[in-house]
Structure 1
Amino acid sequence: MENLVESALPALFVLPVLAVALAASGSRRTGSAALLFLLLLTLDGFLVSAPVVYDVAQVPGANWNWTGKALSLAWALAFIGFGPLSRRDVGLTVRQRPNSLRPAVLVTVGLVLLGVTIGAVFGGGGPLRVETLAYQLTMPGLAEELAFRGVFLALLHRAIPAEAGAAVSWWPAVVTTLAFAFTHSPSLEGGRIAFAFLPFLLPLVAGAAFAWLREKTGSLLWPTIAHNGLNAAIFVSGSVAGAA
């Protein structure tokens, strides 16, 4: 039960911002998409954490939560396959919007350099293992980008349409970025809500960059590359710094 409550915290924390966004949009016909976003956000958190919390279906000998991320990928792909969103809606395309390649590359390189800096300053968790590198280069970007900058962002674009004359509403990016940060902090500790600022700050900054990449390019390709590049850079740089 506590795991389900903790999984619902991001939805509860982002709810006031979502309510403001819905009110600002003036749309009264798309509340179902916003509700679905909150429910799926909670489901994603529960599925990702369940293998670790209940010690079930974990990869033998693994140090990372491969099963939880695989479950996140599974529900998102199933929702895209059978739900109301198309692959184009969620950014499952390699085609990029015109004039977006150069800024996407620059932002991605900047995020990787940020990861190198963070790893060098704060260090890592000891020697870099092959599993750690394999995990960071694949699962976080694939699972989290498909969910947050894919399904969740698309649902909120339906819930919060762009104002007349605007190319796109940025409210969905704001709400999903906050939701992404809230999945990293707060947490439940002994039945009480604990909030850690640094684990919230980095996903907030990075999530904003990932959302910008998604909106700029119209695809999940660069957000996924940037996400995995940032994560891998933190661990590689931290391992090098720790060994020095």
Structure 2
Amino acid sequence: MGIGESRTGVTESPVDTARWVVPVLAVVGAGICLVTLIAGPAAFTAAGGPALLSGLLAVAVLAPLALFAARGRPGAGRALVVAGGLVVLTHVVHTLPRVGVFAGLDWNWQGKTLELLWLAVLLLVLHRWARTAAGLRRPEPGTLGPALRLIVGWFLVVACLVAFSLADFGPVDGERMLFDVAHPNLVEELLWRGVLLAVLDRALGAPWRFFGARVGWGLVLTSVGFGLGHGLLVTGEGLLFDPAAIVLTGFAGLLLGWVRAYTGSVWLAYLAHCAPEVGIAAGELLRS
């Protein structure tokens, strides 16, 4: 019997088995302990408390829509609990105090690296499910061309808009460019369009056709959740509510979710995620 496969030969998802929980929590727990040891308990509490509240707030806001989507679907409740737990986990991991080599960097490499580690453990433990359901595979035949046209078009539109914009999008340096094309974007896709979308689609179904892609409530929930993660946060200073960020990143999540659903591959969603961010940098360079 392979890892991630039940005794009956059926591929297991994170909802079907708990064998991934201890390894994932061990990785996250080790990271938290190391950060607390270096930064101190006070620094961890100051960052971890608001992060936990942010995750719980996002879950609470999504709950009515999720419960509506789950009505009449046996077993959906367990899937929602798993998805909610992963949403809370990503909030906590990303807001730990930065220590060591990460402390002097402008971008949150620490949070993204720790998230990559626990996601890698999850996907390795359930590697059959990761390939068949979570998108760690090649795109479906005939889908690569349309997806690449969307990705290139998205890049060009953003680059042109930024090049002729009066807004300041920040300095473009080597660290920013590397952050925009390396694993930070990949971990968001592995979580939101990989693990979460697969869990929710299996539990809630994907009965709709959306520009050739088979989608369902999973696309809606991951898009809204993605937006909330960028515009509804609890900080040390209080509640941060940015409707524009929620709408813009939620719409981006919708496009990324479409790429994932249409092609079947999370790797194409990762390329699509990089497109607008590299476009911003290209636009800044063009007008400098």
TM-score category of the 2 structures, normalised to the smaller one: 0.7 to 0.9
Task: For 1:13, give the aligned amino acid.
Answer: V
TM-align CA RMSD = 2.4
User: Which of 218, 231, 239 is the equivalent residue of 1:193?
Assistant: 239
Q: Which residue of 2 aligns with 1:124?
A: 169
Separation in 2 of the partners of 1:187 and 1:19? Answer: 22
Q: Flag the structure with larger Rg.
A: 2
Q: Is the 8 A contact 2:208 2:216 kept in 1?
A: no
Q: Secondary structure at the match of 2:231?
A: coil
Separation in 1 of the partners of 2:285 and 2:60? Answer: 36
Deviation at 1:213, TM superposition (A): 0.4
Q: Is the 8 A contact 2:51 2:235 kept in 1?
A: no
Q: Which residue of 2 aligns with 1:21?
A: 69
User: Which of 35, 43, 47 is the equivalent residue of 2:93?
Assistant: 47
CA deviation vs aligned residue, 1:106-151 (integer Å, no higher than 9, x gap): 211122123314533233213x111110111113321100000000
Provide structure 1 residue ranges, at least 5 long, that are not aligned to the other structure: none
Q: Is the 8 A contact 1:123 1:237 kept in 2?
A: no
Q: Which residue of 2 aligns with 1:148?
A: 192
Q: Is the 8 A contact 2:59 2:84 kept in 1?
A: yes
Separation in 1 of the partners of 2:151 and 2:285? Answer: 21
Identity %: 28
Separation in 2 of the partners of 1:231 and 1:114? Answer: 11
TM-score with structure 2 setting the length: 0.74
Give aligned pairs, total: 235
Of structures 1 and 2, the one scoring higher in RCO (CA 8 A, sep 6+) is 1
Deviation at 1:197, TM superposition (A): 2.0
Q: Which residue of 1 aligns with 2:135?
A: 91
Separation in 2 of the partners of 1:102 and 1:231? Answer: 21
Deviation at 1:161, TM superposition (A): 2.1
Deviation at 1:239, TM superposition (A): 4.5
Task: For 2:243, give the aligned amino acid.
Answer: F
Q: Which residue of 1 aligns with 2:201?
A: 157
Separation in 1 of the partners of 2:230 and 2:278? Answer: 17
Q: Which residue of 2 aligns with 1:205?
A: 251
Provide structure 2 residue ranges, at least 5 long, that are not aligned to the other structure: 1-48
Distance 1:8 1:118, change over 3 A: farther
Q: Is the 8 A contact 2:139 2:265 kept in 1?
A: yes
TM-score with structure 1 setting the length: 0.87
Distance 1:193 1:217, change over 3 A: same
CA deviation vs aligned residue, 1:163-189 (integer Å, no higher than 9, x gap): 599x84421111101111111011225
